[in-house]
Amino acid sequence: MVVFLPLATRVIAGVTVPNTALINSSIELARQNLPSHGFGHVMRSWLNGQALVNRLPQPERAKFDEEAFGVSAILHDMGWAFNTSFVSNDKIFEVDGANAARDLIRKKGGRGWDQHRIQLVWDAIALHTSRDIAPYKQREVAYLSMGIYLELVGVEIAKQRYGELITVPEAEWDRIAAEFPRPGMKGYFSGVMIGLCVLKPEMTYANFVGDWGEKYVQGYTRVGHRVIDLLEAVLPE
Ligand SMILES: *[C@@H]1O[C@H](CO)[C@@H](O)[C@H](O)[C@H]1NC(C)=O
Ligand SMILES: *[C@@H]1O[C@H](CO)[C@@H](O)[C@H](O)[C@H]1NC(C)=O
């Protein structure tokens, strides 16, 4: 098992985070290509996730790839970018984000980034909404999914799902939210989901994104696109 040397750190919104050139490049890419609500969401996700990691006991903490985690967290929603070069027509937004992160690492990551670490980032982003799978993958994958959930729903509801794994106190969550404010998130989130349902409906039917299509997009329907529709049509009696 690889053990990571402690990275240089800095403090953002009271949370001690790794301070590396690639994390800075990730922050710049997210800042330039997401509106402020999207940028705030990925930063809060990173900070809440890192705040959980900061409380991991040794030796788990030393085995945790905090730089890979940071890059994953900061770039996990590049599939929501307004720069359409990040947004495919034929892949779910999670995969668009994973590909954007992989491309940035290949360009700027340098020698420390072997195939395994790149794949770890790719998996963490691709699986961040797969809450029935992520907890059983590598810890970086599990903590990304959990950190994003914690940022979105808050400490109390996150505890209902993840129990004692949620070690971040309310005051720390609040401080992060004060630095990257949340008002307007509901409308922003809805707008992104509806936009995806209109742009690439085929990529939303099997995904929670399609729930916004069914609720808000006229003419949108999953009927005919579901696994049940296919298998009932093709399987022998
Ligand atoms: C990352 O950016 C911060 C804030 O601009 C800066 O203080 C820090 O020196 C940068 N870190 C690296 C490794 O370049
Ligand atoms: C969109 O992103 C691509 C890839 O990073 C970049 O080359 C291009 O300049 C960006 N376009 C805008 C309008 O920012």
Task: Assess whether 90 and 164 both reside in one domain.
Answer: yes
Final residue in a domain of this structure, among 165, 181, 197 = 181
Task: Assess whether 34 and 133 both reside in one domain.
Answer: yes
Final residue in a domain of this structure, among 133, 166, 181 = 181
Contact in structure between 213 and 201 (CB atoms under 8 Å): yes
160 CA to centre of own chain? 20
- The answer to whether residue 27 is domain-embedded is yes
The CATH number of whichever domain residue 28 belongs to comes to 1.10.3210.10
Task: Assess whether 22 and 113 both reside in one domain.
Answer: yes
Task: Assess whether 145 and 213 both reside in one domain.
Answer: no
Instruction: Please give the pLDDT value at position 1.
Output: 55
* Ligand 1 contact via 19 beta carbon (within 6 Å): yes
Domain that holds residue 202: 184-237
- The answer to whether residue 1 is domain-embedded is no
Task: Assess whether 167 and 197 both reside in one domain.
Answer: no
Ligand 2 atom with least separation from CA of 86: 2
Q: Which ranges constitute the DSSP H helices of 54-182?
A: 60-63, 66-75, 93-108, 115-126, 139-153, 155-162, 170-179
Task: Assess whether 158 and 226 both reside in one domain.
Answer: no
Query: Which SS3 state, helix, strand or coil, does residue 204 take?
Result: coil
Ligand 2 atom with least separation from CA of 33: 14
Instruction: Please give the pLDDT value at position 4.
Output: 74
Query: Does the model's pTM come out above 0.85?
Result: yes
Give me the residues of the chain with pLDDT under 50, please: none
- Ligand 2 atom 7 nearest Cα: 85
Instruction: Please give the pLDDT value at position 7.
Output: 85
Task: Assess whether 133 and 86 both reside in one domain.
Answer: yes
Question: How many domains are there within the chain?
Answer: 2
If you ran DSSP here, which 8-state letter would residue 12 be given? E
**Mutation probe of ligand 2 site: the residue of 34, 82, 83 with most atoms within 8 A of C-beta:** 83
* Ligand 1 contact via 157 beta carbon (within 6 Å): no
Bond into 59 cis (ω within 30): yes
Quickly count: other Cβ atoms within 10 Å of residue 194's Cβ: 18
User: Could you read off the pLDDT of 161-180 as tens digits, one per residue?
Assistant: 999 999 999 999 999 999 99
Bond into 201 cis (ω within 30): no
- The answer to whether residue 143 is domain-embedded is yes
- Ligand 1 atom 2 nearest Cα: 24
Task: Assess whether 73 and 143 both reside in one domain.
Answer: yes
Final residue in a domain of this structure, among 135, 158, 181 = 181
Instruction: Please give the pLDDT value at position 184.
Output: 97
Task: Assess whether 197 and 117 both reside in one domain.
Answer: no
Task: Assess whether 28 and 134 both reside in one domain.
Answer: yes
- The answer to whether residue 3 is domain-embedded is no
Task: Assess whether 174 and 205 both reside in one domain.
Answer: no
Residue type, 63: K
Task: Assess whether 176 and 188 both reside in one domain.
Answer: no
Ligand 2 atom with least separation from CA of 32: 14
- The answer to whether residue 222 is domain-embedded is yes
- Ligand 2 atom 1 nearest Cα: 83
Instruction: Please give the pLDDT value at position 40.
Output: 98
CA angle 112, 48, 120 (to 5 degrees): 30
- The answer to whether residue 48 is domain-embedded is yes
Ligand 1 centroid–CA 119 distance in Å is 25
Q: Which residues pair with 9 in a beta bridge?
A: 18
Query: Residue 11 phi/psi, 5° resolution?
Result: -115, 125
User: Could you read off the pLDDT of 17-59 as tens digits, one per residue?
Assistant: 999 999 999 999 999 999 999 999 999 999 999 999 999 999 9
Ligand 1 centroid–CA 28 distance in Å is 11
| Residues flanking ligand 2, CB < 6 Å | 83, 85
- The answer to whether residue 94 is domain-embedded is yes
- Ligand 1 atom 12 nearest Cα: 21
- The answer to whether residue 4 is domain-embedded is no
